[in-house]
Structure 1
Amino acid sequence: MTDRLPLPASVDTPQTIVVTGVMAAGKSTVSQLLAERFSRAVHLRGDEFRRVVVSGRVDMSPHGDPEAERQLALRHRLTAHTANMYAEAGFTVVVQDLFVGASLEPFLEQLEAPISLVMLAPDVSTVMRRESERAKTGYGDLWSISDFDLKVRTETPKIGLWLDSSQQTPDETVDEIIRRLPEARIR
């Protein structure tokens, strides 16, 4: 584990930091560790809003189901609203979720400034290794790791900080995010 220096006051102020990337990029671990670095912080997992749907949930697929897209937009609205409320109350909010392609900018438009965006972008072989080491699976018959990675890299707007975390530990990734937070600022 690295030595954790205190954050400069300019960094440790209420803000929203969006952490995204392909499945198995390390979003959950990095987001939790990042939130722990701030004096007042919330780790908001957007996927929790998907999981609370008890019946009628339609998950995203590569086939473009309108109901799945409607539910994703609802999940993103709930996440943005919750993030804004926590930020208004003086917390730094680390939002973790999949924001791929055209879903990213509508989500960001719902957030109040200041906002930073971090795209965790490890290489495909690293994602394959990480996916094989985790208990849950994000890929299967519908999504391949390389196809999903290509979709993220070609269809998602290149804004914020895109970070290749392939050769980093989670703590090293968090250290780099904090060092480069000004580059991640989008508004």
Structure 2
Amino acid sequence: MTKPHLYIVTGAMAAGKSTVAQALAERLPKSVHLRGDIFRRMIVNGAAVMGPELSADAITQLDLRQALACDAARHYVEAGFSVVYQDILIGHALQDVANRLAPFSPRIVVLNPRPDILAQRDEARSKTGYSESFPPVILADALERETPRIGLWIDTSAMAVTEVVDRILAGPHPAAW
């Protein structure tokens, strides 16, 4: 039996996290695609608004969502599953999650397409997240300026999903993995 791996896939909205995480999980034996956003969507009443400016309540809910996702990832890995945990982890959130999951040596992947590509991808999907008051450049800039340079950063602007997954699986992996 092969040892399970833990991958953390992050990036801005419309970076391709869900698509890449699903394709990666499909290439791994005994695997789980853990979508961090599922924990936000479980809230029936009282969900805080997520956007460029976060209220104290939104920050608390993001911390809760990440803690729950890390707990779920830990349990799946301990049960022998490889886990691909996908969420928007920008700024200190990426380091916090990496620290929480450090005993499992997570392989961190940051999808970092250009802002114009984020806008194109967002327009093409059924669930749009950006708006005039919240353009893609806000998250793209935050990712660039505030997020620690850990793991594998990939500009996926001109890459197909299979190319991205191949790159993730190819190694050699950065020392931070």
TM over 0.5: yes
Q: Are 2:39 and 2:65, in contact at CA under 8 Å, matched by a contact in 1?
A: yes
Range 166-175 or range 58-67, more displaced: 58-67
2:134 maps to 143
2:6 maps to 16
Among residues 91, 108, 121, which one is paired with 2:112 in the alignment? Answer: 121
Deviations 1:145-171 (A, max 9, x none): 112210111000010000011111111
Q: Are 2:52 and 2:138, in contact at CA under 8 Å, matched by a contact in 1?
A: no
Among residues 98, 106, 115, which one is paired with 1:108 in the alignment? Answer: 98
1:35 counterpart letter in structure 2:
A
Size of the aligned set, in residue pairs, is 176
Where do 1:11-160 residues align within 5 Å? 13-111=3-101, 112-160=103-151
Q: Distance in 1 between matches of 2:63 and 2:133?
A: 21
2:104 counterpart letter in structure 1:
A
Q: Are 1:116 and 1:160, in contact at CA under 8 Å, matched by a contact in 2?
A: yes
Q: CA RMSD in A?
A: 1.5
Range 135-144 or range 110-119, more displaced: 135-144
Among residues 141, 154, 157, which one is paired with 1:166 in the alignment? Answer: 157
2:154 counterpart letter in structure 1:
L
* Alpha-carbon distance, 1:124 to partner: 1.5
Gaps of 5+ in 2: none
Range 97-106 or range 65-74, more displaced: 97-106
* Alpha-carbon distance, 1:186 to partner: 2.9
1:176 maps to 167
Q: Distance in 1 between matches of 2:129 and 2:81?
A: 30
* Alpha-carbon distance, 1:60 to partner: 2.3
Q: What TM-score, normalized to structure 2? A: 0.94
* Alpha-carbon distance, 1:114 to partner: 2.0
Deviations 1:126-158 (A, max 9, x none): 111111111111112542111221011100001
Query: Given the superposition, is the C-alpha separation of residues 103 and 153 from structure 1 closer, same or farther in structure 2, using an over 3 Å criterion?
Result: same
Q: Are 1:116 and 1:181, in contact at CA under 8 Å, matched by a contact in 2?
A: no
Q: What TM-score, normalized to structure 1? A: 0.89
Moved runs in structure 1, 4+ residues, more than 6 A?
Answer: none
Secondary structure of 1:182's partner?
coil
Q: Distance in 2 between matches of 1:150 and 1:180?
A: 27
Deviations 1:21-71 (A, max 9, x none): 010000000000000111110000000000000001103232231000000
Deviations 1:109-128 (A, max 9, x none): 21132211000001112111
Q: Distance in 2 between matches of 1:84 and 1:186?
A: 19
